[in-house]
Structure 1
Amino acid sequence: MKKTLLTRLLALSVYATALAIGAPAALAQAVDPPATHPYAQSQPIPGRYIVVFKDSVANPAAEAANLTRGLGGQLHHTYTSALKGFAASLPDAALQGIRNNPNVDYIEQDQTVSLNEAKLSSTQVQSTATWGLDRIDQTDRPLDTWYHYNYTGAGVNAFIIDTGILATHTDFQGRVQSGYTAITDNNSTNDCNGHGTHVAGTVGGLTWGVAKGVALIPVRVLDCSGSGTWSGVIAGINWVIGQATKSPNPLLPAVANMSLGGGASPAVDTAVANAVNNGVTMVVAAGNSSADACRYSPAREPSAITVGATTSSDKRAFYSNYGKCLDLFAPGSSITSASISSNDASTIKSGTSMASPHVAGVAALALAEKPATLPAGIASFLTDNATRNKLGSIGRGSPNLLVYSLGTTWASTSVAISSITDSTLSGRNGWNASATVTVRKRNSDWSIGDPAAGATVTGSFSPGGSVSCVTDPSGSCTLTSSIIRSTDSAKVTVTGISGPLMTYDASQNAVTEIVIAKP
């Protein structure tokens, strides 16, 4: 379904014109041409680069340190989860050598990240549900000024990848957790800009929020002026993945909101995809250029949930990006939420920055109901339950879908085995038999569909007994059993497949059992 290099907050003031975002991508492979716009364009940072290693590199931190030190560079960030690589200041004379290094996949020039937003002078006060909350809990008009919800999002973690959060704001009720900053000032994760606090308020504020009990975790990648770098954004995603995969207490279930974007960046897209592969539902703003969202990152990333903005009259906002890379729309114009002016202040902002957190909040509600659901399942839930065909002027290729917060339809996907491959390993007292099982979703016509990640595969070896494994993002996992030396072969049979929102249809298996010969 989806979705270039600079990153900008995708917000507009109530009276601002559209914020267009774009930037050149230097030294990157297969990067789209830069988008143009009438506002301040992101600028390449002289001498500063993002270097992406090949997946085969075992120790990216050590490799980054050695490369940087040997070339007289300054290391800024090392990435081990979002992608394998690093960001550093490097002399121009070193670039060709890095490109020729067999461990390097590609290089991108780092870019500035900036905010183009006019601020309102007065504080707004809400007495009833804002129109955005009012709109997402009903499928038809007129609006009734009420916001209904069945869950609060309690137990769900919401990472706000933005300018930080004003943790002391009363609308957050002390639910702001410790987070991460890629910005080297003295503000830590505190929001000195206001954008991140407004976004967090829409995701999970008591008054202004969709998921009123969610844990809010600031990931500060933009500074007080709304400026930053793509390398800092990747560092933030890298930290999020670390929190989602840490042992023994991973911060899951989790949703992350990215109300920022820019020109096409393979590195940023990879980081977002890896967060999804590690269980984090990634919700991103479509962008404010009134252009095809497929030209921008992370909006173009297929695994992200990309959100366009609507107005209170159920039309696409004039600034909102559009196209086939969008998943759905949400309210984005004249949205009231928390302000950093004081601990109880509010303000009004507009943009796809404001639309995205509505969807992130609904994702948190869904995860509160079914915490084991994988990101792909949450994406399907959001689109399956969205209000259909109510929006006007949606733009060519856009889905006519408006997020709906009271959805109850959890579509179950049929899954089946597409292949089983064998391998063996000799031992002193016997041998090991292994069967790698690949599980795929089945399309409506029963053709092979996407990989089914997170499926529990159960099976039995004869001889050898019962075994199980869980499929990875490629839809595969391996069943293994130890076999005594005197046995010449073993038969492995898959006996079941289960998982969140999955229905196993054995009649559609390409294969169910194989015989493995002793090596």
Structure 2
Amino acid sequence: MSEARTNSERPTIIPGRYIVFLKHYVHEPIQMSHISSVETRCAGRCHSMDESERPAKFVDTTIELPGLRGYAGVFDDKTLEEIKSSHVVSHVEPDQYVYPCKVTQENVPSWGLARLSHQGPLGSDEASKQYVYNEDADGHGTTAYVIDTGIYVEHEDFEGRARWGIVVPKNATKKDFDGHGTHVAGTIGSKTYGVAKKANLVAVKIFPDGAGQGGSMSDIIKGLDWAVRDAQERGDIHKCVANMSIGGGRMNAVNVAIAAAVKAGMTVCVAAGNESTDALNTSPASAPEAITVGSTDKNDGFSTYSNYGRILDILAPGRAIVSCSNKGPRESVALSGTSMATPHVTGMACSILTDGKIKTPADVIRKMLDIGEDGSITGALNSSPNRLLKQIPAQDTQQPPTAGGDDEEEGEWDWLLCTKGKGSKKTDL
């Protein structure tokens, strides 16, 4: 097996590129006027640049999440200082690279689905090879947005339920060159390998063409922005889940964007990362409102590569997981990583949302934790929760878990806690 190259060994900051968020009272006309002013100033200062090096637009990304507006682009030092001093700007942060959280292992039989419906460690008996699930919770009517390398939508195991949404990077195409996103989508909702076997799958491509290419945090935000607006336009955001099997250095801008998506009604599941470090140091894993997922192996051990800590919500099978491959319409491949654990959780979120009785991201995670298996995982969890993802019982009659209200106050985003108003499930960290 080839071990993953950790994010600490890869470039982090994207030189000269920044993400800017505006204050909560800023509406579209003010946002557009501010961006126009930034463009004019950049163009005036960069007239001496070689034409081949000069971008067509300095601001290349506009962010319009519910309650959160901003933009991203390439700015010279003088313009950057003016942006920071603007009365409409609340936060500026350097853009960062982001990478898929995977390890590769070839030709290994999968076991993850069986573990979801099997109490205790898997054995050699036939029951340990079966996946038992509730047909009334198969994900029909739900949508998973796979924010990743794309999806090989022609794969037969998707049964026509996978489609292309948006391709974010400039000059990228509607093709999954890497296969990471296809594998993730397969674990979420394919016929053979999927948790929620009737869920709809939407490709939100945030990585450039080519295998193993790094993306940017600003493209993550743009992809999530698009997914939220697409779900809102269809009128079913409360039956939608975003999967982010990706990771990079900690970035408050991404975490706040996730908080805005969750506030709008979309459940967001994120990989803890593969650096064997505290997930609080990475994004999107450190986003308080997301469901953060660590990885386990077939022997119920905590994966040695998995990031850890109190920010994690739940653990799921992530080592030697077989799912759809981008190499052909019937091909499969085994991969390992928190990237592979996370789509199990996304699929389960789709299952929980199927019948419409549970409607909010907060109730999704409460239900998931309520049915989870406690205390089974061994190894160095380092304050991670010892709770393994489990399938909804076949005879389960779902009701929203009892909890206090989740209404949030209006106001500026807290850039330390990455939340707004009263706070969220993890603000005690």
TM-score range (shorter-chain normalised) is 0.7 to 0.9
Opposite residue 140 of structure 1, the aligned amino acid is G
Give 1:232's aligned residue.
219
Please state if 1:63 is matched with 2:50. Answer: no
Matched residues in 1 for 2:121 and 2:223: separation? 40
1:405 is the counterpart of 2:391: yes
Instruction: For 1:276 and 1:287, locate their aligned partners in 2 and report how far apart those are by CA, in whole Å.
Output: 21
- The whole-number CA distance in structure 2 between the counterparts of 1:330 and 1:75 is 39
- Paired with 1:156 and 1:394, the residues of 2 have a C-alpha distance of 35
1:135 aligns with 2:115: yes
Residues of 2 paired with 1:101 and 1:346: CA distance? 52
1:221 equivalenced with 2:206 (yes/no)? yes
Q: Give the alignment's TM-score, normalised by structure 2.
A: 0.84
Aligned residues: 385
Residue 74 of structure 1 deviates from its aligned partner by 1.1
**Offset at 1:412?**
5.2
Shift of 1:273: 0.7
The farther-off stretch of 193-202 and 390-399 is 390-399
Contact 1:171 1:205 in 2 (8 A): yes
Q: CA deviation at 1:253?
A: 0.8
Query: In the aligned structure 2, how far is the partner of 1:207 from the partner of 1:265?
Result: 36
Whether 1:91 and 2:76 are equivalent positions in the alignment is: yes
- Show the 5 A alignment for 1:250-269: 250-269=236-255
How much identity, in percent, do the aligned residues show? 36
Q: Partners in 1 of 2:333 and 2:241 — Cα distance? A: 24
- Please tell me the residue identity of whatever aligns with 2:381: G
Instruction: For residue 116 of structure 1, report the CA deviation from its aligned partner.
Output: 7.9
- Judged with a 3 Å threshold, the aligned counterparts in structure 2 of structure 1 residues 106 and 256 are, in CA distance, closer, same or farther, namely same
Unaligned runs of 5+ in 2: 44-56, 409-419, 423-429
Gaps of 5+ in 1: 1-14, 22-36, 416-440, 442-449, 454-472, 476-519
Question: Structure 1 pair 178/148, CA: closer, same or farther in 2 (3 Å)?
Answer: same
Equivalent residue for 1:193, pick from 178, 190, 207: 178
Secondary structure of the corresponding residue to residue 316 of structure 1:
coil
Residue by residue over 1:5-47, the C-alpha shift from the partner in whole angstroms, topping out at 9 and shown as x without a partner, is: xxxxxxxxxx1335433xxxxxxxxxxxxxxx3x2x2242222
In structure 1, what is the Cα distance between the partners aligned to 2:309 and 2:390? 20
Higher helix share goes to which structure? 2
Letter of the structure 1 residue corresponding to residue 37 of structure 2: N
Letter matched to residue 135 of structure 1: R
* 3-state DSSP of counterpart to 2:162: coil
Task: State the distance in 1 between where 2:257 and 2:308 align.
Answer: 23
Partner of residue 300 from structure 2, selected from 295, 298, 314? 314
Preserved contact between residue 302 and residue 378 of structure 2 (Cα < 8 Å): yes
SS of structure 2 residue aligned to 1:197: helix
Contact 1:451–1:474 under 8 Å retained in 2: no
- The 3-state SS of whatever aligns with 2:348 is helix
Relative distance call for 1:139 and 1:452 in structure 2 (3 A) is farther
Cα deviation digits, residues 148-184 of structure 1 (max 9, x gap): 1112201001000000000000110110123011122
Q: What is the distance in 1 between the residues matched to 2:349 and 2:2?
A: 29
Q: Tell me, yes or no, if the aligned pair for 1:175 and 1:215 is still in contact at 8 Å.
A: yes
Residue 56 of structure 1: how far off its partner (Å):
1.6
Q: Counterpart amino acid of 1:278? A: A
Q: TM-score, structure 1 length as denominator?
A: 0.70
Cα pair distance change 1:153/1:414, threshold 3 Å:
closer
Match of 2:76, as an amino acid?
P
**Structure 2 vs 1, CA of residues 303 and 410 (structure 1 numbering), >3 Å: closer, same or farther?**
farther
Secondary structure at the counterpart of residue 129 of structure 2:
coil
Aligned match of 1:333: 319
The 1:20–1:414 alpha-carbon spacing in structure 2 relative to 1, beyond 3 Å, is: same
Matched residue of 1:52: which SS? strand
> 2: CA distance between counterparts of 1:69 and 1:343?
49
CA distance in 1, matches of 2:374, 2:102: 31
CA shift for structure 1 position 370: 3.0
Determine if contact 2:224/2:261 at 8 Å carries over to the other structure. Answer: yes
Q: What SS is found at the alignment partner of 2:98?
A: strand
1:241 aligns with one of 228, 240, 260: 228
For residues 126-205 of structure 1, the aligned pairs below 5 Å read: 130-143=110-123, 144-150=128-134, 151-188=137-174, 190-205=175-190
* C-alpha distance 356-51 of structure 1, shift in aligned 2 (>3 A): same
Query: Retained in 2: the 8 A contact 1:244–1:279?
Result: no
Do the aligned partners of 1:332 and 1:350 also contact (CA within 8 Å) in 2? yes
- Aligned residue identity for 1:275: A
The C-alpha deviation readout for 1:266-304, integer Å capped at 9, x for no partner, is 110011111111111101101111111111111111111
Q: Does 1:42 align with 2:21?
A: no
| Mapped contact 2:101–2:339 kept (Cα < 8 A) | no
| CA-CA distance at 1:244 after TM superposition | 2.2
RMSD of Structure 2 on Structure 1 (CA): 2.2
The 3 A distance-change label for structure 1 pair 114 and 141 is closer
| Structure 1 residue 257 displacement after superposition | 0.6
In the other structure, the counterpart of 2:53 is none
What amino acid does structure 1 have at the position aligned with 2:224? I
Q: Secondary structure at the match of 1:80?
A: strand
Task: After superposition, give the CA deviation of every residue in 1:195-224 in whole Å (9 maximum; x if it has no partner).
Answer: 000000000011111111000001100122
Q: Supply the distance in 1 between the matched residues of 2:15 and 2:347 (Cα, whole angstroms).
A: 38
Contact 1:167 1:174 (8 Å CA) reproduced: yes
Kindly provide the CA deviation profile for residues 121-164 of structure 1, in whole angstroms up to 9, marking residues without a partner as x: x6x486xxx31001011222344200011122010010000000
Task: Name the structure 1 match of 2:92.
Answer: 107
**Structure exhibiting the larger radius of gyration computed from Cα positions:** 1
User: Could you tell which deviates more after superposition, 327-336 or 139-148?
Assistant: 139-148
Distance 2:39 2:267 in 1: 33
User: How far off its partner does 1:372 sit?
Assistant: 4.7
8 A Cα contact 1:253 1:372, kept in partner: no
Aligned AA (2:59):
L
User: 1:340-379 maps to which residues of 2 (within 5 A)?
Assistant: 340-370=326-356, 372-379=358-365
User: Greater relative contact order: 1 or 2 (C-alpha under 8 angstroms, separation 6 or more)?
Assistant: 2
Q: Deviations over 1:59-116 (max 9, x none)?
A: 2234223322233261210001163111111112211111111111121112233458
Which of 34, 59, 81 is residue 75 of structure 1 equivalent to? 59
